[in-house]
Amino acid sequence: MIIGVESTAHTFGVGVCHKGKVLANVRDMYHPAIGGIIPIDAGKHHTAVAEKLWNQALRDAKITEKEIKGIAFSYAPGLAPCLLAGMHFVKAKAKLLGMPVIPVHHSIAHLEIGQSLGAKDPVLLYASGANTQIIAYAGQRYRIFGETLDVGIGNCLDKIARAMGFPFPGGPELEKLALKGMYHELKYSLKGMDVSFSGLQNQALQLRDKGMSPEDVACSVQETAFAMLVEASERALAHTGKKELVLGGGVACNARLQEMCRLMCTARGVALFCPGKPLLVDNGAMIAYTGELLYKKKLFISLDALDIAPRQRTDQVSVKWK
């Protein structure tokens, strides 16, 4: 029984996993009063809700603290005040309960949880707020085959939605608007395997200022940005010869992105694995699930060595549990 704590950005989550099965997955999201995430405030939010969510996860899993074998937490990458809130909470719990702590890299957890659906050796399209990467495993590392050169896809969508007056997170609002919109050609920016969204974002904001309807802006941005992601993913599949695509990150909740991925995968004879929303967005269950993989290899960290790594990249992690 492994408990996992997620706190890299806007969401504080606690999950419980046992033999690869998710027994609990609860979360609480920080909502800024206006504008985008204020890291210090998000950290305070996490500290305020931590104990309540911890207890809720134990209740949902129908276990007591004594049955837990290890505490996993996301130490990277993310916003420092948010990561610290999670780390301090986990450290106190580990001290109190005398349990080992398992450090889990957040982006890798998005990938591993997709493999709980049955994928063996996939390419991952990780499309979240701040992170946008195309990842696959090769030689003891999760390699980044392509990534955003500037803003993350979710942040891009959120910023455009904010300019239209929608609160954070705006991605789901754009998805609804896009259903009623018409497509206009926008900047398609795929450089090698990397994508860039800042030009598209600015163009969308300018077109909105010039009077293009929110529906048309939403539809055009989605079609353009998602096509870039699907093309880069397809290239990674072609290059690696892998036959599975896993989706991860909050933006992967988008039905149009899922549909575009499905079309590409069907055409290529590739299997598509898309977790349900509670496992796509930032969550504690994926941290617990990945923590269990590390636990089996005794990849613990001593309390004195506990630390966060806000900018650690996916490909800097030596994968010792595979």
Q: Which residues bind Mg ion (CB under 5 A)?
A: 128, 282
Backbone angles phi, psi at 105, to 5 degrees: -80, 125
Q: What is the crossing angle of helices 214-240 and 171-178, to 10°?
A: 100
Please, what sign has the CA dihedral across residues 216, 221, 222, 224?
Answer: positive
Give which of 128, 119, 143, 103 is closest to 306, Cα–Cα.
103
Separation of CA 146 from chain center: 16
Stretch that binds ligand AMP, among 79-87, 98-106, 167-175, 284-292 (CB under 6 A): 167-175
Give which of 203, 200, 206, 129 is closest to 168, Cα–Cα.
129
Q: DSSP label at 169?
A: P
Stretch that binds ligand AMP, among 101-109, 116-124, 244-252, 284-292 (CB under 6 A): 244-252
Stretch that binds ligand AMP, among 163-171, 227-235, 284-292, 306-314 (CB under 6 A): 163-171
Q: What is the C-alpha R_g of the chain? A: 19
Q: How far is Cα 107 from Cα 105, in angstroms, rounded to an integer?
A: 6
Nearest distance in Å: CB 32, ligand AMP: 13
281 binds, among ligand AMP, Mg ion, none (CB under 5 to 8 A by kind): ligand AMP
Using CB under 6 A as the binding rule, whether residue 129 contacts ligand AMP is answered as yes
Is the N-terminal amide bond of 100 cis, ω within 30° of 0?
A: no
In the numeric block, which tokens belong to residue 82? 């948010």
User: Is 26 or 99 the residue whose CB approaches ligand AMP more closely?
Assistant: 26
Nearest distance in Å: CB 123, ligand AMP: 18
In the numeric block, which tokens belong to residue 175? 């998805």
Nearest distance in Å: CB 288, ligand AMP: 17
Question: 10 Å Cβ neighbour count for 31?
Answer: 12
170 binds, among Mg ion, ligand AMP, none (CB under 5 to 8 A by kind): ligand AMP
**β strands within 106-263, DSSP E:** 123-127, 132-138, 141-147, 190-191, 194-195, 244-248
In the numeric block, which tokens belong to residue 133? 């990467």
Please, what sign has the CA dihedral across residues 176, 180, 186, 189?
Answer: positive
Using CB under 6 A as the binding rule, whether residue 157 contacts ligand AMP is answered as yes
| DSSP SS3 for 74 | strand
Binders of ligand AMP in range 175-234 (CB under 6 A): 175
The correct pick among 158, 216, 234, 292 for binding ligand AMP (CB under 6 A) is 158
Nearest distance in Å: CB 128, Mg ion: 4
14 binds, among ligand AMP, Mg ion, none (CB under 5 to 8 A by kind): none
Nearest distance in Å: CB 129, ligand AMP: 3
Using CB under 6 A as the binding rule, whether residue 115 contacts ligand AMP is answered as no
32 binds, among Mg ion, ligand AMP, none (CB under 5 to 8 A by kind): none
Using CB under 6 A as the binding rule, whether residue 282 contacts ligand AMP is answered as yes
Nearest distance in Å: CB 191, Mg ion: 24
User: Is 223 or 282 the residue whose CB approaches ligand AMP more closely?
Assistant: 282
Query: Which residues lie near ligand AMP (CB under 6 A)?
Result: 9, 11, 128-129, 154, 157-158, 169-172, 175, 249-251, 253-254, 281-282
